Amino acid sequence: MTAETREEVSDAQLVHRFRADPELFTAVYDRYFRDIYLYVAGRLDVQAGEDIAAETFCLAFRDRDRFDPVRGGLRPWLFGIATNLMARHRRQEVRHYRALARASAEPEAGGHEDSVVDSVAAQRMKPQLAKALATLNKGERDVITLVSLGQLTHQEVAEALGVSYGTVGSRLSRARKKINNSLDQEAFHG
């Protein structure tokens, strides 16, 4: 599929096509893999990003006939699958945020790619923000990272997590308040 064709084919058309010919599911992979990978790698690490993104698409392919376009788009459906898979890695995610909070300018002993991703993430998130994210509960952390890292709308987050639009708003509000309080305390004590 060319870049021009990719933009012209809607998600609804993709669904219709891969239901008729499962081999066409690769178009879904081509369109969304990078977004899913970056979201997971931003929350966990490079290796988990690769593993969970791949597993997300395996599960999506397996369950492709159960996808209901009336309930939402492919993108939030895939982010929902990835978020559910990450629940298994929740402790690792909290450790990752704590490590980012302690990150120094010196490269770590891990692989080069891990150190590059960690360095970029540390610069983007700042250690204080990473520390604040580690204090959020799972629901709050899922919502705020889907909005910030995944660039999903509130409606897409609701679809991805299987919660109401109002729940997304309240979790996001609580998460922002906790992060602001944590950052304020850090600034006061720092």
Question: How far apart (Å, rounded) are the C-alpha atoms in residues 140 and 133?
Answer: 9
Question: How far apart (Å, rounded) are the C-alpha atoms in residues 111 and 130?
Answer: 21
The pLDDT score that the predictor gives to residue 81 is 95
DSSP string, 79-147: HHHHHHHHGGGHHHHHHHHHHHHH--SS--SS-HHHHHHHHHHHHHHHHHHHHHHHTS-HHHHHHHHHH
For the chain, domain boundaries: 10-189
| Tens-binned pLDDT, residue by residue, of the chain (190 aa) | 444 444 578 888 888 898 889 999 999 999 999 999 999 998 888 888 899 999 999 999 999 988 988 888 999 999 999 999 988 776 666 677 677 666 644 455 556 666 666 665 555 556 777 788 888 999 999 999 899 888 999 999 999 999 999 999 999 999 999 888 887 776 666 5
The pLDDT score that the predictor gives to residue 111 is 62
Q: Which residues contact 164 (CB under 8 A, 6 or more apart)?
A: 158
pTM: 0.64
The pair phi, psi for residue 36, each rounded to 5°, is: -65, -45
The pair phi, psi for residue 162, each rounded to 5°, is: 70, 35
Its sign, for the CA torsion 34, 60, 149, 125, is: negative
The pair phi, psi for residue 65, each rounded to 5°, is: -75, -15
